[in-house]
Copies of this chain bind each other. A is one copy, B any other.
Amino acid sequence: MDKTLEQAKRHQKIRSLNEALDSGSLDQVARILNRGLSPSDIAHLLESTPPKERSILWRLVDKDLEGEILQYLSDEVRTDFLSKLNPQELVSITEDFETDDLADVLQQLPEKVIQEVLDSMDSQDRHRIEAVLSYAEDTAGGLMNTDTITIRPDISIDVVLRYLRRHRSLPDMTDKLIVVNRKDEFIGTLPITTMLVASPSSTVREVMNTDAVTISVNTPDTEVANLFERRDLVSAPVLSSEGRLLGRVTIDDVVDVIRDDADHSLMSMAGLDEDDDTFTPIIKTAKRRAVWLGINLITAFIASAVIGLFEATIEKVVALAVLMPIVASMGGIAGSQALTLVIRSMAVGQISRNNLGWLLNREFIVGIINGTLWALVVAGAAIVWFNDLMIGVIIALALMINLIVAAVAGTMLPVILRARDIDPALAGGVILTTITDVVGFLSFLGLATIVYA
Contact = CB atoms under 8 A, between A and B. Distances in A.
**Assembly stoichiometry (copies):** 2
A369 interface: yes
A55 B304 CA distance: 49
A253 to B, nearest CB: 9
B48 A234 contact: no
Interface string A323-345: 11110111001101101110011
Given A322-B311, A337-B270, A340-B272, A370 B289 contact: yes
Contacts of A300: 325-326, 329-330
Contacts of A290: 369-370, 373-374
Contact of A234 (B164, B173, B215, B323): B173
B4 A218 contact: yes
Interface stretch (A36-44, A57-65, A121-129): A36-44
A299 B326 CA distance: 9
A227 B301 CA distance: 47
B223 A4 contact: yes
Interface string A146-180: 00000000000000010011011111111100000
A293 B358 contact: no
B196 A192 contact: yes
A453 interface: no
A2 B229 CA distance: 20
Nearest to A385: B308
A292 interface: yes
B40 A340 contact: no
A450 interface: no
Contacts of A272: 337, 340-341, 344
A215 B43 CA distance: 21
Contacts of A334: 289, 293
Interface of A: 1-2, 4-7, 14, 18, 38, 40-41, 43-44, 47-50, 72, 139, 161, 164-165, 167-175, 192-194, 196-200, 213-216, 218-220, 223, 227-232, 234, 251-252, 255-256, 258-259, 262-263, 265-267, 269-272, 276, 278-279, 281-282, 285-286, 289-290, 292-294, 296-297, 299-301, 303-304, 307-308, 311, 314-315, 318-326, 328-330, 333-334, 336-337, 339-341, 344-345, 349-352, 354-355, 358-359, 362, 365-366, 369-370, 373-374, 377-378, 381, 385, 433, 437
20 contacts: A2-B218, A4-B215, A6-B213, A165-B196, A165-B198, A165-B200, A232-B252, A259-B262, A263-B344, A265-B266, A272-B337, A272-B344, A290-B370, A293-B333, A297-B326, A300-B325, A303-B329, A308-B322, A315-B318, A325-B437
